[in-house]
Amino acid sequence: MTEWVGNSGVPLVTSPGYATSEGVPLMWSVVDRTQFGNQTSCPRRPATKLRSKSSPQKQRNNILFARIGVRGINFKLTCSGFMVTVKLRLEARLGVLRCIVMGLSSKRKGRWRYRFWQKMFLTLIGLPLLVGLVLGFVAIFRAVFVTQLDGSMLHIIDDQETQDIVDESQSMERAERLAGALKIATISYDTDHQENENLLAFIKYLEKGRKMSTYEHIQAIEIVSSSLQRLNEIVEFLLIREEANKIIVANNMQPLSLPRQKKPPMPYTGPATAFTSTSVEDYSRHEYLAIIDTDVGSFPLIHNRSFIKREVINKYSLLFTVQGLTRGKLPYLLASHLDVVPVDAKAWEFPPFSGRIVNRTYVYGRGAIDDKAGVMGIMEAVEYMLQKKQRPQRTFFMAFGHDEEVSGKRGAQELAKTLIARGVDHLDFVLDEGFPLHRNLIPGTDRHVAMVGISEKGTATLELSVIGTPGHSSFPPAESAIGILAAAVAKLEENQQPSLLGKGPESAMFRYLAPHVSFGYRILYNNLWLFSGLMAREMEHRPITNAIVRTTSAITMFNGGIKSNVIPPSAKAVINHRVHPAQSVAEVIAHDRKVIDDPRVDIRVKISREAHPVSPFGPTSIPFQMVAASIRQIYPDAIVVPAVFIANTDTRWYLSFTSNLYRFLPTVILPSDVNRYHGNNERISIHHYYKAVSFYYRLIKNADVLIDQVPASTVNNGEEEL
């Protein structure tokens, strides 16, 4: 036993066995034997003299933690410093917990308890509160001083020019021509061997203004006429006139006035092109009934101008080359597609291919929005320009593929190959179908929002299959192939792909919207780095907005079973993913495998394509600003924002031509009409179809103005390309 002497000279006793290697006790209980005798327990007080190498403050902390720690357990020192550290940490944690309990339950307000509780409050509550206040201040600051990005339009078109839009008095005539186009069922098929006569009929419908030969007139009348006697009279007259003219010409006499013959374009014999001339023999009776219904041509000026060249590529696709007055400037391309998706006719309010005009307000029919409105709108805009005896300054192309709904390989891909073969390997910009204008779709504003697609989601089509054990349904196995596959599909629907809001180009859309929404939403939109999770939950409420923030998963096909009393030997399902630009196809497949977590489910990739690159969209991007200016000229209250288009378009085949690829459909759609896309009762407003024609007309006019590089002074200050 080691004895120590206090200030009064009274011998002090420490508990044996608790000293350091130098004989100095780390902590001890002090006993005054003269006052308490040989009692085993007595009040504890610190020694008056310490010889430990630790600082006095550290010793007091050690004693404090030991005292308010677990009583009866003392420090045991060993030669291992590691063990000492572990013991000290253990005792310190126990002491802190004990201190918190005592500070909450004890009525005594000791100085050390007050200070410790103060420190704990600042640590556990004060520090997070301080961080929250700082983040809140930053978020509010960014919301208050946010830059109005969509206001950086190019102000180089005077007010007089802006008023030059399409005449609205012809809206019903245009609607009737659109209705005629909707009467032709141009459904595309994913096969190379099936002839699509309806696509030929649609091409013929577009070229109704082209002057036909006498032979074509005879065949058209033969098909359409219901009176054989009248038919014979007309045929006899036409044949006599043709033979008489032959005799007159043979004798060098002045021939009678014959219908003006329009020479068809010379076929291109390059390796990537297949020019196919069409004739009347290619059409059946019902197709001609839909085509030859009036003497007025659909677009007679387009088909009878020498500077406009029309070609049919790979049987069904159309390529128009409009030669501008100015040479040496980069051309641009306006794209759309002729084909539509199949229909469930019984679920429609009106026949899907009737082209029904209802109350002079809407035109119903498959393709009214996707995308015959685009084809007809572009053609109407060019026809109107020709009616005003105008010719574009810049050369541009109108490219209409015929199989966009299935792949675009035989349509837009062949159109692209044709351009490359002719030396056109670079374009100023490409505009294809995309989002229409909408209201009340994105929370925070009730104004029209024009979402111009600057990128496009990728796609991944996966086939899930399970091989089971076939047998009789009277003694089924515990799990069938259908049951296993159904469980896997259910897991995918319950565990969707993660939200990527704030990690991709869609974050720019919210920054452009921020100046035009209420203050609360402005804080959210301009601080996605802080509120992306909250905004993602808000966007998940609607399917179309949910598709903006993540990769979507759609169960599109499920097959299994061969007979009602037979256990199916296998089952298959098809999953279609639309891949977000911030995610790769490999990451999507890895997520699916992790969620399914069943080796019995085989996953095979049928089709995969990564998301498109992001096109320039800042204030210095002239093509983007030109599209934005055209929208604002037709819809002055619209908020123009960059966005990620959630579907797929034919722009994939033009990626090598330019980095300026944009996707936009210049019409308005209501939230209640969203499901009409590829759904039932597809329709378009006649007024908004007129607006679409006006947009394409303004775009062509603006492209003529923006031939040369725009001076920096004409561009408003704004954020650089994001």
- Whichever domain contains 594, its CATH number is 3.30.70.360
- Under 8 Å CB-to-CB from 202, ≥6 apart: which residues? 181, 184, 186, 338
**pLDDT tens-digit readout, 581-623:** 999 999 999 999 999 999 999 999 999 999 999 999 988 899 9
**pLDDT tens-digit readout, 77-115:** 444 344 434 344 434 444 444 444 444 444 444 555 556
- Under 8 Å CB-to-CB from 501, ≥6 apart: which residues? 507, 528, 532, 535, 536, 539, 548, 549, 550
199-203, 234-238, 252-256, 414-418: range with lowest mean pLDDT: 252-256
**Taking phi first (over 0 means left), then psi (-120 to 50 degrees means alpha), and beta for anything else, what does residue 355 get?**
left
Which of 579, 609, 639 is a domain's end point?
A: 609
* Residues 692, 377 contacting (CB under 8 angstroms): yes
The C-alpha torsion from 597 through 599 and 601 to 606, rounded to 10°, is 90
Token pair recorded at residue 2: 């080691």
219-228, 372-381, 597-606, 626-635: range with lowest mean pLDDT: 219-228
Q: Which uninterrupted H or E stretch holds 668?
A: strand 661-669
Residue 88 shares a structural domain with residue 175: no
* Residues 164, 547 contacting (CB under 8 angstroms): no
pLDDT reading at 633 higher than 90? yes
Dihedrals phi, psi of 236, to nearest 5 degrees: -60, -45
Let me know if 404 is a catalytic residue.
yes
pLDDT reading at 20 higher than 60? no
Higher pLDDT, 250 or 479: 479
Could you write out the DSSP letters of every residue in 362-408? EEESTTTTTTHHHHHHHHHHHHHHHHTT---SS-EEEEEES-TTTTS
Higher pLDDT, 183 or 266: 183
Q: What is the mean pLDDT of residues 4-12?
A: 47
Q: What is the mean pLDDT of residues 396-413?
A: 95
Task: Kindly report the average pLDDT of the chain as a whole number.
Answer: 76
259-273, 296-310, 539-553, 625-639: range with lowest mean pLDDT: 259-273
Residue 587 shares a structural domain with residue 680: no
Question: From the DSSP assignment, how many helices (H) and strands (E) are in the chain?
Answer: 21, 20
Residue 377 included in any domain: yes
Instruction: Name the active-site residue from 404, 405, 428, 704.
Output: 404
- Whichever domain contains 688, its CATH number is 3.40.630.10
DSSP 125: I
Residue 152 included in any domain: no
pLDDT reading at 381 higher than 50? yes
Residue 138 included in any domain: no
3-state SS assignment for residue 496: coil
Residue 574 included in any domain: yes
Q: What is the mean pLDDT of residues 309-334?
A: 93
Q: Which of 429, 288, 302 is nearest to 375 (CA)?
A: 302
Cis peptide before 371 (omega within 30 of 0): yes
Q: Which of 298, 340, 171 is nearest to 685 (CA)?
A: 171
Residue 419 shares a structural domain with residue 462: no
Token look-up 């908020």 returns 639
Let me know if 339 is a catalytic residue.
yes
Residue 471 shares a structural domain with residue 571: yes
Q: What is the mean pLDDT of residues 216-220?
A: 51
3-state SS assignment for residue 423: coil
pLDDT reading at 180 higher than 50? yes
Q: What is the mean pLDDT of residues 459-476?
A: 93
* C-alpha span between 202 and 182 (Å, rounded): 9
Residue 537 shares a structural domain with residue 411: no
Could you write out the DSSP letters of every residue in 252-291? TPPPPPPPPPPPPPPPP-STT--B----GGG--HHHHHHH
Residue 590 shares a structural domain with residue 478: yes
pLDDT reading at 474 higher than 60? yes
Residue 502 shares a structural domain with residue 632: no
Higher pLDDT, 141 or 73: 141
* C-alpha span between 384 and 469 (Å, rounded): 66
Longest Cα pair distance anywhere in the chain, in angstroms? 156
Residue 605 shares a structural domain with residue 619: no
Radius of gyration, CA atoms only, the chain: 39
| Domain ranges, residue 647 | 167-210+262-432+614-714
DSSP strand E in 383-517: where? 396-401, 430-438, 449-456, 458-467, 471-472
Residue 374 shares a structural domain with residue 275: yes
**What proportion of the chain, given as a percentage, has pLDDT over 70?**
65
Residue 233 included in any domain: no
Q: Which of 497, 670, 687 is nearest to 594 (CA)?
A: 497
Higher pLDDT, 579 or 152: 579
CA atoms within 13 A on the CB side of 632: 18
Instruction: Name the active-site residue from 150, 339, 432, 592.
Output: 339
Q: Which of 101, 99, 125 is nearest to 112 (CA)?
A: 99
* Residues 398, 318 contacting (CB under 8 angstroms): yes
**Helix 228-250 crosses helix 214-224 at what angle (to 10 degrees)?**
170
pLDDT reading at 185 higher than 70? yes
Which of 559, 593, 609 is a domain's end point?
A: 609
Residue 317 shares a structural domain with residue 425: yes
Model pLDDT, residue 549: 94
Higher pLDDT, 410 or 229: 410
Token pair recorded at residue 516: 């035009």
Residue 289 included in any domain: yes
353 alpha carbon, distance to own chain's centre: 29
Q: Which of 601, 607, 609, 570 is nearest to 491 (CA)?
A: 601
- Under 8 Å CB-to-CB from 349, ≥6 apart: which residues? 364, 680, 681
Could you write out the DSSP letters of every residue in 297-356? -SSTTGGG-TTEEEEEETTTEEEEEE--SS-SSPPEEEEEES-B----GGG-SS-TTS-E
The count of domains in the chain is 3
* Residues 335, 317 contacting (CB under 8 angstroms): no
Which of 111, 146, 177 is a domain's end point?
A: 111
**pLDDT tens-digit readout, 560-592:** 999 999 999 999 999 999 999 999 999 999 999
199-203, 230-234, 491-495, 703-707: range with lowest mean pLDDT: 230-234
- Under 8 Å CB-to-CB from 625, ≥6 apart: which residues? 152, 153, 154, 619, 715
Residue 107 included in any domain: yes
Q: Which residues pair with 683 in a beta bridge?
A: 364
Residue 604 shares a structural domain with residue 618: no
* C-alpha span between 129 and 114 (Å, rounded): 21
**Taking phi first (over 0 means left), then psi (-120 to 50 degrees means alpha), and beta for anything else, what does residue 359 get?**
left
Model pLDDT, residue 101: 46
Strands 396-401, 317-322: parallel, antiparallel or unpaired by DSSP? antiparallel
Q: Which residues pair with 154 in a beta bridge?
A: 715
82 alpha carbon, distance to own chain's centre: 57
Residue 547 shares a structural domain with residue 639: no
Residue 121 included in any domain: no
